[in-house]
Amino acid sequence: MAKEECDVVWISRDYMYGDYLTKAQQGAEFVMMRDFIMGVNPFNRG
Amino acid sequence: MKKPDQDDWEKLEHLVKYLESTKNLPLILSADNSDNIYTYADAAFAVHPDMKSHNGAGLTLGRGFAISISSGQRLNTGSLTTAEIVCVSDILPTTQWIRLFVLAQGLKVKENIIYQDNESSVLLEKNGKTALSGHVISISEHFSSQMQWRKRSAMWYG
């Protein structure tokens, strides 16, 4: 980073799919994350 | 699992019913045209009975998680920020292994991106410095920082 070799780009925490693997999700959030993780709907990256 | 009880049995029944009802749901894996590797890394702070945190991470080449990680951390941390740093430290070897695997197939890897939702952790990992005490945390930070310095990973936050 000191050599400006990396970028930092903000994305919404709504698209933090790692959340799915730390605690139980429910409802629409569960379905959205599941579909992304399973590759059913891969176009929801944020 | 230690000392499972009736509540855990009901969760298992719920899980089996879910699997039965979604047995036709496919797992679709493919790569997009970006030549990037994306890893989503998150930590749940102090959720275990011994107050250790839990890692959750998924790695994708564009469509579907090729690798999913859900594992307890091996050390206690004092805050969510440090738990997130430990999480990245834990999953970095896997992301680097995947990068080398993809390169060995004769394919390109432009960027190896790790998404995080904690800006403080991202800054600490990038700078490799911390006001927090703790030798182990420092090791984790410096490991992450060194990997990034080598331009093998990019820390993103969201």
| Residue A2 forms part of a structural domain | no
What's the confidence (pLDDT) of residue A3? 35
> Could you tell me the pTM of the whole model?
0.81
| CA closest to A42 among chain B residues | B63
Do A5 and B151 count as a contact with CB atoms less than 8 A apart?
yes
What's the confidence (pLDDT) of residue A1? 40
Q: Which domains does chain B have, with CATH numbers?
A: 31-157 (3.30.420.10)
| Residue A26 forms part of a structural domain | yes
Do B42 and A8 count as a contact with CB atoms less than 8 A apart?
no
B76 dihedral zone (left: phi>0; alpha: psi -120 to 50; beta) = beta
Please report the ipTM that was assigned to this predicted complex.
Answer: 0.80
Distance CA B63, CA B51 (A): 34
**Set of chain B residues whose Cβ sits within 8 Å of the Cβ of A11:** 115, 156-158
Place of tokens 């703790």: B134
Q: Which helix (H) or strand (E) holds A23?
A: none
Q: Does position B158 have pLDDT exceeding 60, yes or no?
A: no
CA distance B135 to chain A (A): 22
Distances (CA, A) of B18 to A18, B23, B62, B81: 21, 8, 26, 34
Question: How many domains are there within chain A?
Answer: 1
What's the confidence (pLDDT) of residue A5? 35
Do B42 and A12 count as a contact with CB atoms less than 8 A apart?
no
| Residue A18 forms part of a structural domain | yes
Do B151 and A11 count as a contact with CB atoms less than 8 A apart?
no
Q: For residue range A1-46, what is the model confidence (pLDDT) as tens digits?
A: 433 334 445 667 788 888 999 988 899 999 999 999 999 986 666 5
Q: For residue range B50-77, what is the model confidence (pLDDT) as tens digits?
A: 999 999 999 999 999 999 999 999 989 9
Q: For residue range B93-120, what is the model confidence (pLDDT) as tens digits?
A: 898 889 889 989 999 988 888 899 888 8
Do B156 and A9 count as a contact with CB atoms less than 8 A apart?
yes
Q: Do residues B85 and B123 make contact, with C-beta atoms less than 8 angstroms apart?
A: no
For chain B, what percent of residues have pLDDT higher than 90?
45
| Residue A24 forms part of a structural domain | yes
Which residues form the domain of A16? 11-46
| Residue A6 forms part of a structural domain | no
